[in-house]
Amino acid sequence: MEISIVEKVIEQLKSLPQELQWRVFEFTRALVTSTPHGVSGAQLLRFAGTILRMK
């Protein structure tokens, strides 16, 4: 059975001092609440090849 990523992170986290554990927690919480920015690839398809044609 392969160990999951979460289990690997927890094992590493256990060896950190409590201050660093809090930093990891805050970072993961920020990741969960963040929203992705940008445009989907489908929206960019109309520009495909444009840069090459400008040469």
Task: Specify burial of residue 3 (Cβ count, 10 A radius: 0-12, 13-18, 19+).
Answer: exposed
pLDDT at 30 over 90: yes
The verdict on residue 6 lying in a domain is: yes
Q: Which domain holds residue 15?
A: 1-33
Q: If you average pLDDT over every residue of the chain, what do you get?
A: 88
Please tell me the distance from the alpha carbon of residue 45 to that of residue 23, in angstroms, as a whole number: 39
The verdict on residue 19 lying in a domain is: yes
3-class secondary structure, 37: coil
How many Cβ atoms from other residues are within 10 Å of residue 35's Cβ? 4
Helices (H), the chain: 5-14, 18-33, 41-44, 50-53
Domain count, the chain: 1
Q: What is the pLDDT of residues 6-21, one digit of tens each?
A: 999 999 999 999 999 9
The verdict on residue 55 lying in a domain is: no
